[in-house]
Amino acid sequence: MDFAEAVQYLLSFTDLERGVQRSDSPTMSLASMRSLLSRMNNPQLGRHTIHITGSKGKGSTAAMIAGILRREPYSTSLFTSPHLHSFTERIAIDGEAVSPAQFAAALEAIRPHIEDEQRSVHGNVSTFGVLTALFFWLTRAQVPRIEWQVVEVGLGGTFDTTNVFDEIDAAVITPVSLEHTAILGNTPAEIARDKAGIIKPGCICVLAPQRYPEVVDVVRERCEEVGARLIYVPERYRAEVLERYVFGQSFRVEGPRGVREFRTPMLGRHQVDNALTAIAVADALRSRGHRIDESAIVDGIAHTRVPGRLEVMGQRPLIVADGAHNADSARALAAALREYFEWKRCFVVVGMMRDKDVRGLGMELSKLAELFVCTNFGSPRAMDPYDLIQQIGFLGPAAVADESVSAAIDTALSHASPDDLVCITGSLYVVAEAREHILGEGAFGE
């Protein structure tokens, strides 16, 4: 099996990210995931584990935590989703994405177990479930042995296919907001209740700053129920941004370990909050006797960069891409664009999935947009750009449509002067196609 064949095989299963259903069952059940891992001799066990969920910021926070651990140095694996250009990006060993050859060979090795599970009484196997199993298989296969695994939830928490641990070192919950309401619940409290399902007896739970007080109440209740130690970041830490640059920022942290200063290449006040959460995790692990020097925390934050998150792709005009996909993330994006950059007019290239909060995002970005350029992109779940105009076209700025991301970017650039800003946002698929068009980035087909 080569990499192209591996991707084709992977996409033959139910894939909620692309809206491809092979079964009436919406997701792979947790029972099926545990059964599959049992067939593989439980590769998820045998190392320290940090499990991360949330509505936004979990990918950046996970990357920062893994970066801190690597610089101790601990041998570390990281599982995140979705990817920008290639499935290989989702599985990183000691900071490097696995190679296409490694990916394909490992998938071929576990294929008999996958197909046995697909034929079993448990039923549906999903693309994300296969990727989860592949991550654990590749993590166990590393020599020397991986000491820490940092695992990002795919959707929710309680019933997610990554929730296969009886014990973990830390559960991390980033900001919770309304998302996937048909699956997770209609209120922040209901969604938080689902996400809090990753909190295990005796673990540390680090809760990032939250917009909704009821989220804190739900998580606190879960921690008391299972005997986990809760660390709510705003109760112990405070951060102040010191300097802002186009390619990074510095900030001061006040907390249990005194006053400290950090730098990060990640932009936006929300990335300071993500870093603060990662720092709180590191401090909590230190308090439990794990060896994590201050220099590892400083260097881990300073060297973690996640593409597609307030990523500067060009100047004159300024081109910034960010995968904001709901009202809360669009609000953070709008604030960052005002605080971190100088520009006269803003032209927004936007493409969205059909099930996302298009109206909420549009209301936040219409406050700064001169023009919306609505675009299609390469996903079956992409909203038609003309339908997108119907959702946001009445909010004030003019709106036009293009059938591809590259055409939409060219349209925005044709209107922009050197002192203006072109912001590319919405789905990460849009950001990925923008990176390919502007930066020539891309990889391996999927």
CATH number of the domain bearing residue 252 = 3.40.1190.10
User: What is the Cα–Cα distance from 182 to 55, expressed in whole angstroms?
Assistant: 15
Secondary structure (H, E, C), 214-231: HHHHHHHHHHHHHCCEEE
Identify whether residues 174 and 248 lie together within a single domain: yes
How many CA within 13 A on the CB side of residue 66? 29
Sort strands 91-93 and 204-207 into parallel, antiparallel or unpaired.
unpaired
Last residue of a domain, one of 272, 302, 332: 302
CA distances 414 to 71, 341, 408, 431, Å, are 44, 21, 10, 19
Residue 43 lies in a domain: yes
Distance of alpha carbon 254 from the chain centroid:
27
Q: How is 90-158 classified by DSSP, letter by letter?
A: GEEETTEEPPHHHHHHHHHHHHHHHHHHHTSTT---BHHHHHHHHHHHHHHH-SSPP-EEEEE-SSSST
Identify whether residues 35 and 168 lie together within a single domain: yes
Residue 444 lies in a domain: no
Identify whether residues 428 and 281 lie together within a single domain: no
Digits of tens for pLDDT over the chain (446 positions)? 999 999 999 999 988 776 655 444 457 999 999 999 999 999 999 999 999 999 999 999 999 999 999 999 999 999 999 999 999 999 999 999 999 999 999 999 999 999 999 999 887 899 999 999 999 999 999 978 999 999 999 989 999 999 999 999 999 999 998 765 555 667 999 999 999 999 999 999 999 999 999 999 999 999 999 999 999 999 999 999 999 998 899 999 999 999 999 999 999 999 999 999 999 999 999 999 999 999 999 999 999 999 999 999 999 999 999 999 888 889 999 999 999 999 999 999 999 998 888 999 999 999 999 999 999 999 888 999 999 999 998 999 999 999 999 999 999 999 999 999 999 999 999 999 999 999 997 644 45
Last residue of a domain, one of 248, 273, 302: 302
pTM: 0.93
Identify whether residues 163 and 288 lie together within a single domain: yes
Q: For the beta carbon of residue 190, count every other beta carbon within 10 angstroms.
A: 15
Last residue of a domain, one of 302, 321, 345: 302
φ and ψ of 258, to 5 deg: 90, -155
Number of domains present in the structure of the chain: 2
The residues near 224 (Cβ < 8 Å, ≥ 6 apart) are none
User: What is the Cα–Cα distance from 132 to 107, expressed in whole angstroms?
Assistant: 11
| pLDDT reported for residue 326 | 86
Residue 231 lies in a domain: yes
Residue 446 lies in a domain: no
Identify whether residues 255 and 322 lie together within a single domain: no
Identify whether residues 210 and 240 lie together within a single domain: yes
Identify whether residues 294 and 316 lie together within a single domain: no
Region label for 413, one of left (φ > 0), alpha (ψ between -120 and 50) or beta (otherwise): alpha
Q: What amino acid occupies position 151?
A: V
CA distances 191 to 38, 308, 389, Å, are 29, 25, 29
Q: At 421, list the tokens.
A: 């800003």
- Expressed as residue numbers, the domain containing 89 is 3-302
| pLDDT reported for residue 355 | 81
Residue 273 lies in a domain: yes
Q: What amino acid occupies position 329?
A: S
Identify whether residues 198 and 298 lie together within a single domain: yes
Residue 189 lies in a domain: yes
| pLDDT reported for residue 325 | 82
**Helices and strands (DSSP H and E) totals, the chain:** 16, 17
Residue 125 lies in a domain: yes
- Let me know: does 156 contact 183? Beta carbons within 8 Å: yes
Identify whether residues 16 and 148 lie together within a single domain: yes
Identify whether residues 294 and 388 lie together within a single domain: no
Domain at 356, CATH number: 3.90.190.20
Residue 257 lies in a domain: yes
Identify whether residues 374 and 292 lie together within a single domain: no
Identify whether residues 238 and 108 lie together within a single domain: yes
Q: At 279, list the tokens.
A: 């720092």
